[in-house]
Chain A
Amino acid sequence: DADVTQTPRNRITKTGKRIMLECSQTKGHDRMYWYRQDPGLGLRLIYYSFDVKDINKGEISDGYSVSRQAQAKFSLSLESAIPNQTALYFCATSDWGVSETQYFGPGTRLLVL
């Protein structure tokens, strides 16, 4: 969905490096999420934020941190990248309400050497 953008789209980095993945949205949604996707494991939640002042750990937050700079921006950082963090990372947004329909960005493919 073009309303949710992620940068970079692809990244190669080395073990031990710090890396930041950025997500921006123009949908006006309060809720934002970071997932990682690995083959056969589906989408696993790393962190989520229900508004600018709210940050919550997801299922697999170890080794990651996030920053919600504004309603529209949610960044994911790998403080010291390791090879098993090689994965496809998705940002998603949703609106407040009964339905938690999520809108995903195009994804960032990260390779840690």
Chain B
Amino acid sequence: GQQVMQIPQYQHVQEGEDFTTYCNSSTTLSNIQWYKQRPGGHPVFLIQLVKSGEVKKQKRLTFQFGEAKKNSSLHITATQTTDVGTYFCAPEYGNKLVFGAGTILRVKS
């Protein structure tokens, strides 16, 4: 079946440092979504990317969709303790989402 590779699996950063998680697919994607799951919580939708080379920003979060639409990234500038959680990419294959394994972010204050 369709697979998506998300790296790194885990990252522990000092508060104020930047953080990036990457999502890679072997096939061209129609679109990709990103979700955040706080510890003990449920996944919550962050954003959807559709266009080749698209870049979207939400405050300190920057989302990119690759030119070939096979990869995507989420970058957080100057992390804060409120950023802790697991970040999932979720490309759409057919008419279903396939979630990556997630990147767990821990922030040391």
* Residues of chain A whose beta carbon lies under 8 Å from any beta carbon of chain B: 1, 35, 40-45, 48, 50, 58-59, 90, 92, 99-107
Contact = CB atoms under 8 A, between A and B. Distances in A.
B21 to A, nearest CB: 12
Contact of B9 (A40, A50, A106): A40
Given A40-B101, A101-B33, A105-B42, A45 B96 contact: yes
B20 interface: no
B99 interface: yes
Given A42-B102, A99-B48, A100-B33, A106 B97 contact: no
B92 A100 contact: yes
Given A43-B43, A107-B42, A101 B102 contact: no
B99 A43 contact: yes
Contact of A41 (B31, B42, B45, B101): B101
A102 B9 contact: no
B39 interface: no
Contact of A102 (B1, B97, B100): B97
B88 interface: yes
9 contacts: A35-B99, A42-B88, A50-B95, A99-B31, A101-B33, A101-B45, A101-B48, A102-B43, A107-B42
A11 to B, nearest CB: 17
B4 to A, nearest CB: 9
Nearest to A92: B43
Interface in B8-41: 9, 31, 33, 41
